[in-house]
Structure formats: C-alpha cells, structure tokens
Structure 1
Amino acid sequence: MPRKFGNSTMLVDSIAVAEFQGLPLADHPSVKNGRPPGALLEPRPPLDAPTVAEAIAVISCWYEDKTEWGDRIGWIYGSVTEDVVTGYRMHNRGWRSVYCITKRDAFRGTAPINLTDRLHQVLRWATGSVEIFYSKNNALLASSRLKFLQRIAYINVGVYPFTSIFLVVYCFLPAVSLFTGEFVVQTLNVTFLVYLLIITICLALLSLLEVKWSGISLEEYWRNEQFWVIGGTSAHLAAVIQGLLKVIAGIEISFTLTSKSANEDEVDAFADLYLVKWTSLFIPPLTILVVNIIAIFIGFSRTMYSIIPQWSKLIGGVFFSLWVLAHMYPFCKGLMGRRGRTPTIIYVWAGIVAITLSLLWIAISPPTNDSSSGGGV
C-alpha cells in the first residue's frame, strides 16, 4: 500500500469516502446505486489540526515521490510545459475533460510585458514543446484511447516550433528575389494565380473564423499575427536548435527567469514595457529587417539604372519585403524603448550584417570589366 499511495493512512482511508461522494444523488428514478437524497445536507465533522497537517503533507511535491500515486495520478514533473504533459497523460489513459469558460475569470496571472522578457517566456514554452516532440509524450505515439481531434491538437503543440524554419525562409525569400533580380516564382501563369487566390481566400476565411471564435478585434488579431512572426523567427527557432542540441549532444537547456510586472502604481504600471535588454534572440529578426531593407534599396537601384527596367518584378519583390517589414514593426518599436533611443548594439549588428552582405554579394557576383569601367559607350 505505501508503494501505491504513500505512507499516509488518512489518504488511504479517504479513498473509499471520496469514491462514495463521487456518486450521483439518487433523487431521480434513472439513478441507481447512488447516494441517498439529502446526503449533501448532512453535517460534516470539523477538521482538526492533525487532519489539516496530514493534508498539507499529502499535497506537497515530495509525498508522491517514488510512488505509483505520483507516477500515474497528479501533476507530471520534469518538463518545462508540465501542464501540457499532464493533460496529455490523462487523455492518453482515457480520461475525459470539459472546456469550461466561466462568466467571471476563474484564474488570472501576470506576464512579462517588455520585448526581451516576453521572448524569453515564448522560448521556454517553445522549448517545452520541442521536448514533448522528442519524448515518449509525442502524440504520434499515443494509444487508441486518445481521440482524433485530441491527437491533432497535441501534435500541433509539439510541432509548431518547427514551423519557424519555413517562416525564416519565407522572410528571406523577398530579399533574395530583390538581390538576384528574379521573382519568387518563375512565371506568373493563370494556374499559379488561381492557386494563390484560393490560398489567400482560405487564409482570410480562417482568420475571420478565429476572430469570430475568440471575440477579439481585427487590430488585436493583427498584433497577434505580428508577434507570431517575431516570436517564430527568434524564440521558436532558438527552441528548435536547443532541442536538437539536447537530443544529439546531450546539452542541457538553461533558461533566464522572466520578471513579471507586479507594480501596483498606476503611474508606473507599464514602466517595464519600455525596458530594452539585449539578448541573442534579437539577432534573427534584426537580420531579417536589415536584409530586407538593403534588398529594397538594391532592387530600386538595379531597376532604375538598368537598360530595360523590369518594374513588375521589382513591385512584386518590394511588396513581399514590405509585408515582412510590416510584421516586424512592433519589434522595431520595442527596440526604440521609451524615448526612441536605439541601443548601440543594434547599430553595430546592423552594420555587421550590411558589410557581410555586401562582401558576400561581391564574392558571388563580382563586377565585370564593363560595369567597372564607368559605363562608357
């Protein structure tokens, strides 16, 4: 018995009582083997000090250690996203759950509000999802008790950080198009335009469905989309790299604790919002910003001074680059801080990226003798 439920005799004795109290009331002819009517009105004995002390000992984390109670029931430890793992284990064993939304918020919490701490928070969540993907808690390995939609939901939890790889490629494609002078697709035929139109309509309908279901405004939805791109190109990508390093090389993952804004003063309630603390997570989105801005200038210069300007390719590339930059606008605003002052490291990194791209472009496509001789006719 201690191997299953620990050393608490009160806990063992309360199992039968809890099972009986979980039965429905026999106040309807359809209910059989239930509790007698009026059972809820019976007085309960008051709690004494030893019972309260025993309850505190049972709910502590160390009580369930090395017991079947701790392995099969209760909170699952050892994961950054322990809430997801706990829910997955319960559903995988056949438990049923109900999505309950109360009229009044049942729980409220605090969250980091400045850019640096927010990205670290997203990094921790994404790393937990990557850990789930590479562990036995992967929904692809679930039992048949897990329902189909539940399986899809848990697969999405473990897979979504990997979409950052494709997102980063997408953010660089417009710049590559402007650098090379070639559009992202070879030809703009009718088939491609119809395919693009269908995808655009589906995405628009999906966005409207999400807005309708969540009850938020279009502006809030757009802000969420912007931060999804910012987090996807920074925290999610870092989580994938850290997860691979942990699986392949066994390198443990360390996290930076995020500070929650708990200032009750209304004047300084959002003082932490304008704090700018440099982190390596800024490097990928900052690189995307600099590369797309440089690509727009190069595309304009090439088209303007070319013998046969191809404005259609330029407009297409610039449109997609501006679309990427529009998603990065909150990131730029967050770098400015309260007084619009950009940290020096931002300028240093932007200069390094610009010089590297220039040297790389010269190495890939060196100037010819005709172009370097001054363009004489």
Structure 2
Amino acid sequence: MTRPLLEVSHLFKSFGGRDGLFRAGRRARVVNDVGFTIGRGETFGLVGESGSGKSTIGRTILRLLEPDSGEILFDGQDIAGLSRGDLRRLRRRMQIVFQDPFSSLDPRVRVGEVLAEPIRLHGLREGAAIEARVDELLETVGLAPHHKTRWPHEFSGGQRQRIAIARALAVEPDLIVCDEAVSALDVSIQAQVLNLLARLRDDLGVSYLFISHDMSVVRHIADRVGVLYAGRLVETGPVGAVFDRPSHPYTRMLLAATPSLAGRSRAPAQDIAGAPPSPFDAVTGCAFASRCAFASDRCRTEEPPLDTFQAEDHRAACWHVAELPPLGPEAAQGDAAMSPAYRRRIDLLRRAQAGSPA
C-alpha cells in the first residue's frame, strides 16, 4: 500500500495567551485534534463555516503558523522539528494559492519576475532557462508569454489567480494548498480555474488540500472531503459518500444551505439558528449540540469520536446517526419529508432559540 503524501494527526492550534491580543490570559483554540491524509495526485477538500479553522490548518501544515502539538508527516518526514534551512528546502515541494488574487501579488513587480523569483531562489534554472520556464508556466495556466512584461494591475481577477497558480507551480511542488482559491472570483471564472486545477492534477500528478466553504465547489474538485466544525472534523470520506449519504447533522445543514438549480435542497429543511461555540470556551460533549435537533444529554456531556459511525472510509462523529431521516427524492420536499419525531425536535429547537416556552 502506497504511503500518503501528507499525514496529519492530532493537530492542535490556538492563539492568544498572556501576551495575546484577544483576552488576557486566555487562548482561543481554533484547531482541535484534527487528522487526515492526502494521497499522491489526490484532492482533499476541507469545508466548513467561516471561522471553523480551515485556513489555520492549511497554514499550519506549511508551518506558516507553528502548531501547538500534533504530527505532520510530509512524504514520511516529520516537518515539525525541521530547522529553518531544511524547512526552506522542503517548501519547494509544498506551495499555497491564497484567496485574494488582488493582494497576493506584489503590485510593484512585473509578472515575469513574480514567476522567475522562486525558480531562481531554489536554484532550479539558470540564465535563459529561467525565462523559458516562465513562458512555459504562463502557457500552462492559459496565458501568453508576452504577459510576463505586464504589471499585476493590468489583469482581471481570474487572470491574477492563474498567475498565482503559475507561481505555485514554478518550483514543481508535490502539494498545493488552495485556500479559498476561487471564492473571490465570478462563477464563470470559478469554473475555468477549477477546470485548470483539475487538469494540472491529472497532467502533473500534484496533490491539493482544497479549502472552501462552498459545498458545490468541493464536490466538483475533490476526491475525498473533511467537514470541519469549530475546529473539529465531524465527518470525512469519499466525496460521493459524504454528499450522497451525509451522516452528521452539520453536513446536512451545509448541504441544505447549498443553492440548487431546481430551487430546492436535497437535504431536509432545518433552518437552524445559532453560532459555533466561542473558541475561548472549553466545550463539553459535541460542539454542535446547541444547534442540533437530535442533541441528547449524552451529546452535551460526551464528545463522539470521529469513528462513531464508520462505513469503509466514510466516518462521522455523531451519536444519533441512526436517527437521521433518509435522503432521497422525498427528502427534497423539505419539512413535509420529516418524520414526526424529527419535526417535533426541530420545532422545539426553533422555539428555544426564539425564547418561546416549549
């Protein structure tokens, strides 16, 4: 069995503390015991609400942020203890594409130099070979060699993101972290960039950690997916299994919020208000319990492990998977498809959140 390119286990990350900028003497835990793997040539999608810890995980894996604890193995090598020099050499194999193409490129540097600098820095080419490589990179991402003489402000958002992708590819990496890489783009441009990423994966064998809050985008690009809530993974598995048979109420809530061309959701309507728990506060039990229609006393006192539900490579952290209503054509009917018990629990939750007596 081939060893995964990236193995993350028991990853923790927090911010703040005595000298922090948040609350004196307190730390905000934003990543809580996260673990997953990414195979060679595979795309792993990481989805969740804003503030769930997705970007922090991506930056911590690259050691742009230092983890509190946990193990990050890249091609079998533990990167947590690497020296600055060793880490610099390893980063040639690990790159990132940031969310905003308008701020991720230096406006004072021409595009040709943006692409040539990492090649020169890592000693991959010399002299005229660098310029030839720049031309090749521009053509790879759908631009022309003459674009290298232009400034970043002369390009559209989609073109700038193509340049950012070309910059990531310049050092021939094995892994690229795509941190909301298409969320700032128009829908039509999103599709072009996603197709470009998929083609590069097939042609070059590069792996992606694809971070997004958009479930439909992740379904299009990812092979496997991890659903993140309040810094915890609550469901992981092949993208088809997670999207067709979601086994955690939070995953269903995300799917219910995904727009549909038919004007309706695949998942039962839930209309669940509320917000994730504060990262400053210790959570007892399931972090989603305060927003879940199925929460029981056990949920509030005992945190379910990720393998509470397991079907081959599909896992979920929920004590009440068996109680979730089935998905299918009847589920698209919304409230009418709910079982009586499910409808009662939704009604009680809505009343509680509105401050009405049960």
Q: Same fold (TM over 0.5)?
A: no
| TM-score (normalizing by structure 2) | 0.25
More strand by share: 2
Larger radius of gyration: 1
| TM-score (normalizing by structure 1) | 0.24
More helix by share: 1
